[in-house]
Structure 1
Amino acid sequence: MNLLHYAGRLYSLNTLDTRLTTSFKTPPSRLDPVRPSPDEAPYTKGRNGAGELAKGATPPRWRSPEFIYHGLVILLAVPLMFKTVYDVSKRMNIFLSRRALQTDIDDLASHENYHKFASLLSPGWIPGRKVDNSDQQYATFRDNVPYLFAVMMLHPLLRRLFDSVYNAAPNVSSIPPQNGSDSSGSSSSESIIANGRMNRRISFDLGFSALFLLALHGFSAPKVLLILYINYALATRLRKEYVPVATWFFNIGILFANELGKGYPYSDIANVILPWTASAEEVTEQNAKGNWGTVLDSYGGLIPRWEILFNVTVLRLISFNFDYVWSLNRGASSPVEKKHLDSANLSERDRVDLPAKPQDYSFGNYVAYALYSPLYLAGPILTFNDYISQQRHTLRSITRSRNLLYGIRFFIALLSMEVMIHFIYVIAISKAQPEWQVYTPFQLSMLGYFSLHHIWLKLLLPWRFFRLWALLDGIDPPENVVRCMSDNYSAFAFWRGWHRSFNRWIIRYIYIPMGGSGGPGARGKWGRVRGIVNLLAVFTFVAMWHDIQLRLLMWGWLISLFVLPETLAGLLFPKQKWKDHKEVYRLICGVGAVGNILMMMSANLVGFAVGLDGLEGLVQGIVRSYPGTISSIEKCFKPATLTSDPGLVFLGFACVALFTGVQLMFELREEELRHGIHMKC
Structure 2
Amino acid sequence: MQKYFLSLFSLSTLDGEDKFMEGVKPYIDYRKDTLSIEELKFSSRWRSCEFYIYYCIIFFAAILSLKTTYDISNSSHHNYSRFSKYLQRGWIGGRKMDNTDIQYATFRNNIPSLVFASVIHLSLGFFFDYFVKYFKVLKDNIRRRTLYNNIFSFIFLIILHGTSIIKIYIIACFSYSISYIFLNSRLNPILTWFFNIFILFLNDIYKGYSFGSIYYKLSFFDRYSGLVPRWQIHFNFTILRLISYNLDRYWSRKVEFFQVISLPDSQLTEKDRIDIPCPDADYCFRNFFAYIFYAPLYFSGPIVSFNNFISQLRYPSKNISSSWLKKYFLRLLFCFFLMEIMLHFFYVVAISKTKAWEGDSPFQISMIGFFNLQMIWFKLLIIWRFFRLWALCDKIDSPENMIRCINNNYSFLGFWRAWHRSFNRWIVRYIYLPLGGSKLLIINIFVIFTFVAFWHDISLKLFAWGWLITLLILPEIIFGYIFQSKNWDNWSLYRHLCAIGAVVNIIMMMIANLVGFCVGIQGTKEMISRICTSYKNFFFVLSVFCTLFAAVQIMFEIRNYEKRNEL
Q: Normalising to structure 1: TM-score of the pair? A: 0.78
Give 1:429's aligned residue.
351
- 1:54–1:673 Cα contact (<8 Å) kept: no
Q: Unaligned 5+ residue runs, structure 1? A: 30-52, 94-111, 171-191, 275-291, 519-529, 626-644
Partner Cα separation in structure 1 for residue 427 and residue 41 of structure 2: 31
Give 1:400's aligned residue.
322
Greater CA drift, 667-676 or 13-22: 13-22
Q: 1:90 to 1:511 in 2, by over 3 A?
A: same
Give 2:520's aligned residue.
611
Alignment map for 1:228-243 (pairs within 5 Å): 228-239=172-183, 240-243=185-188
Greater CA drift, 127-136 or 309-318: 127-136
1:313 aligns with 2:238: yes
Partner Cα separation in structure 1 for residue 462 and residue 89 of structure 2: 32
Give 1:448's aligned residue.
369
Give 1:147's aligned residue.
113
1:65 aligns with 2:9: no
Give 2:168's aligned residue.
224
Give 1:485's aligned residue.
406
Greater CA drift, 10-19 or 156-165: 10-19
Q: Unaligned 5+ residue runs, structure 2? A: 26-36
- How big is the shift at 1:66? 1.2
Q: 1:512 to 1:73 in 2, by over 3 A?
A: same
1:372 aligns with 2:372: no
Partner Cα separation in structure 1 for residue 103 and residue 263 of structure 2: 44
1:472 aligns with 2:393: yes
- 1:168–1:196 Cα contact (<8 Å) kept: no
- 1:86–1:424 Cα contact (<8 Å) kept: yes
Q: 1:54 to 1:201 in 2, by over 3 A?
A: farther
Alignment map for 1:261-410 (pairs within 5 Å): 261-271=206-216, 293=219, 295-330=220-255, 335=259, 338-410=260-332
- How big is the shift at 1:354? 0.7
1:135 aligns with 2:79: no
Q: 1:449 to 1:151 in 2, by over 3 A?
A: same
State the AA in 1 paired with 2:282: D
SS at match of 2:140: helix
- 1:234–1:246 Cα contact (<8 Å) kept: yes
Partner Cα separation in structure 2 for residue 580 and residue 165 of structure 1: 68
Greater CA drift, 146-155 or 490-499: 146-155
Partner Cα separation in structure 1 for residue 458 and residue 290 of structure 2: 28
Aligned partner (choices 105, 124, 130) of residue 158 of structure 1? 124
SS at match of 2:264: coil
Alignment map for 1:434-583 (pairs within 5 Å): 434=356, 436-518=357-439, 530-581=440-491, 583=492
Greater CA drift, 375-384 or 400-409: 400-409
Give CA deviations for 1:63-97 in whole Å, capped at 9, x if unaligned. Answer: 1111111112222211210110111111127xxxx
Stretches (4+) displaced over 3 A: 18-23, 26-29, 53-58
Give 1:420's aligned residue.
342
Give CA deviations for 1:315-344 in whole Å, capped at 9, x if unaligned. Answer: 000000000000111499x84xx4342234
Partner Cα separation in structure 1 for residue 318 and residue 159 of structure 2: 33
Partner Cα separation in structure 1 for residue 169 and residue 389 of structure 2: 26
Give 1:92's aligned residue.
76
Give 2:34's aligned residue.
none
SS at match of 2:437: coil
Q: 1:585 to 1:169 in 2, by over 3 A?
A: farther
Give CA deviations for 1:395-450 in whole Å, capped at 9, x if unaligned. Answer: 1111111111111111111111111111111111111123x440101001100000
Partner Cα separation in structure 1 for residue 484 and residue 24 of structure 2: 35
- How big is the shift at 1:21? 6.8
Give CA deviations for 1:638-677 in whole Å, capped at 9, x if unaligned. Answer: xxxxxxx221210100000001111111111111112212
Give 2:539's aligned residue.
649
How much identity, in percent, do the aligned residues show? 45
- How big is the shift at 1:22? 4.7
Partner Cα separation in structure 2 for residue 592 and residue 21 of structure 1: 34
Q: 1:370 to 1:55 in 2, by over 3 A?
A: farther
Alignment map for 1:73-222 (pairs within 5 Å): 73-92=57-76, 112-168=78-134, 196-222=140-166
SS at match of 1:517: helix
Q: Normalising to structure 2: TM-score of the pair? A: 0.94
Matched pairs, number: 555
State the AA in 2 paired with 1:233: S
Give CA deviations for 1:575-609 in whole Å, capped at 9, x if unaligned. Answer: 1012234x522111111100000000000000000
